[in-house]
């Protein structure tokens, strides 16, 4: 295993990390003991990065129990920010919530520190200075070793670093965006900006929500686990790209999953790609391709299918800023429009 330095933190992580969303017993693997076996096999193979979130139902608890006796050799990452209850204050990036949420994550993970604590989504209702301030306090108290962001647009990354510098606060050391052959938008601005600021990049969705597993093809039904993504699987642009990628993988003598994971880790700005194995079969397949290196010719062919910096169709979990989701932010009031 060739470990990589996570930005400028000095922390060494494996090029593949283990995403633990599928360890949630209701939406993923219903057997926590089986999830523990999957986690242990990943660790035995040299993977040392495990990523979860407080919003992943009982995933943190499953991970915490599974890591008993092995915690010190794992780079443990979790996230905060998405709603975890009906209380309107049980979410977001305020000091009030983060100071409560971190203690809950520490308890569920059965640890006294978190290596990487990440803001799962931007919070437009909270001043970034407040978030940086509480994160700085958590680092200095020893509860977390470093902190980062997820799905933060490039412009906001610049703003965040500017605030940290002006206010003498610690800055985010990592960013966790979506990235796959089908979703290359971060190559345009985010990855260059993150590299400029020395941030480590942990990408999620390298298999494009299952579309790059080889099991999703034109004219075929999706499996039960992925049925909630039917709108994405029905995107003809994505399906067209997948068909061409299947042919390319065959020509290269690779399973499509190995092609997809190797692509995600080939970019110099990417530190680690998170694989979400729900079963041991899924993990074994991905581990078998961990040494795959794509040639320049194969990477050039991928560029022809999905051009650098572009998206092949829509990603249903992509972050949409308020300027796009709230009509009031992009339409003048009716009386003003009528007066004009």
Query: 220: pLDDT confidence band, cut at 50, 70 and 90?
Result: low
Tell me the average pLDDT across 220-226. 50
What pLDDT digit, counting tens, does each position of 177-199 carry? 999 999 999 999 999 999 999 99
Q: What are the respective helix, strand and coil percentages of the chain, to the nearest 5? A: 45, 15, 45
Q: Tokens standing for 1?
A: 């295993």
Encode 264-279: b = buried (16+ Cβ within 10 Å), e = exposed: bbbbebbbbbbbbbbb
Q: Which residues contact 141 (CB under 8 A, 6 or more apart)?
A: none
Predicted confidence (pLDDT) at residue 70 exceeds the cutoff of 90:
yes
d(CA 325, CA 338): 23
CA dist 3 → 11, 50, 84, 221 (Å): 10, 14, 33, 38
What pLDDT digit, counting tens, does each position of 244-302 carry? 999 999 999 999 999 999 999 999 999 999 999 899 999 999 999 999 999 999 999 99
Predicted confidence (pLDDT) at residue 225 exceeds the cutoff of 50:
no
The secondary structure of residue 75, as a DSSP letter, is E
**The domain containing residue 232 runs over which residues?**
4-339
Pairing of strands 12-13, 4-5: antiparallel
Catalytic residue among 16, 56, 117, 197: 56
pTM above 0.85? yes
Beta strands in the chain (DSSP E): 4-5, 12-13, 16-19, 49-51, 75-80, 114-119, 144-150, 174-176, 200-203, 272-275
Closest CA to 42 of 78, 67, 69: 67
Total number of domains constituting the chain: 1
117 is catalytic: no
Q: How large a percentage of the chain has pLDDT more than 70?
A: 95
The larger pLDDT score, comparing residue 190 to residue 217, is at: 190
Q: What is the pLDDT of residue 318?
A: 73
Average pLDDT over all residues of the chain: 93
Cβ neighbours around 284 below 10 Å, total: 13
Largest CA-CA distance found in the chain, in angstroms, rounded: 69
Domain containing 175 — which CATH number?
Answer: 3.20.20.100
């Amino acid at each position: 295993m060739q470990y990589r330095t996570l930005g400028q933190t000095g922390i060494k992580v494996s090029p593949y990390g283990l995403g633990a969303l599928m360890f949630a017993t209701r939406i993923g693997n219903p057997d926590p003991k089986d999830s523990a076996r999957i986690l242990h096999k990943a660790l035995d193979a040299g993977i040392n990065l495990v990523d979860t979130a407080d919003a992943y139902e009982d995933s943190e608890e499953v991970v915490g129990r599974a890591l008993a006796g092995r915690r010190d050799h794992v780079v443990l990452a979790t996230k905060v920010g998405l709603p975890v209850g009906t209380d309107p204050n049980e979410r977001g990036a305020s000091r009030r919530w983060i100071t409560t949420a971190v203690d809950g994550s520490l308890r569920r993970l059965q640890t006294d520190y978190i290596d990487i604590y990440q803001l799962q989504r931007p919070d437009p209702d909270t001043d970034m200075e407040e978030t940086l301030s509480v994160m700085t306090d958590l680092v200095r108290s020893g509860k977390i070793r470093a902190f980062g962001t997820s799905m933060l647009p490039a412009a906001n990354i610049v703003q965040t670093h500017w605030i940290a510098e002006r206010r003498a606060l610690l800055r985010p050391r990592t960013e966790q965006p979506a990235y796959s052959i089908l979703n290359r938008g971060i190559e345009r601005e985010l990855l260059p900006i993150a590299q400029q600021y020395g941030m480590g990049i942990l990408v999620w969705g390298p298999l494009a929500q299952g579309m790059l597993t080889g099991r999703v093809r034109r004219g075929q039904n999706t499996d039960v686990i992925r049925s909630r993504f039917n709108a994405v699987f029905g995107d003809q642009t994505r399906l067209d790209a997948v068909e061409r990628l299947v042919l390319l993988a065959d020509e290269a003598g690779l399973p499509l999953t190995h092609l997809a994971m190797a692509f995600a880790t080939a970019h110099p700005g990417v530190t680690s790609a998170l694989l979400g194995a729900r079963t041991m079969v899924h993990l074994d397949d991905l581990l078998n391709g961990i040494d795959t290196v794509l040639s320049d010719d194969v990477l050039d062919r991928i560029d022809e299918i999905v051009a650098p910096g572009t998206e092949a169709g829509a990603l249903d979990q992509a972050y949409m800023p308020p300027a796009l989701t709230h009509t009031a932010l992009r339409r003048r009031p009716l009386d003003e429009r009528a007066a004009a």
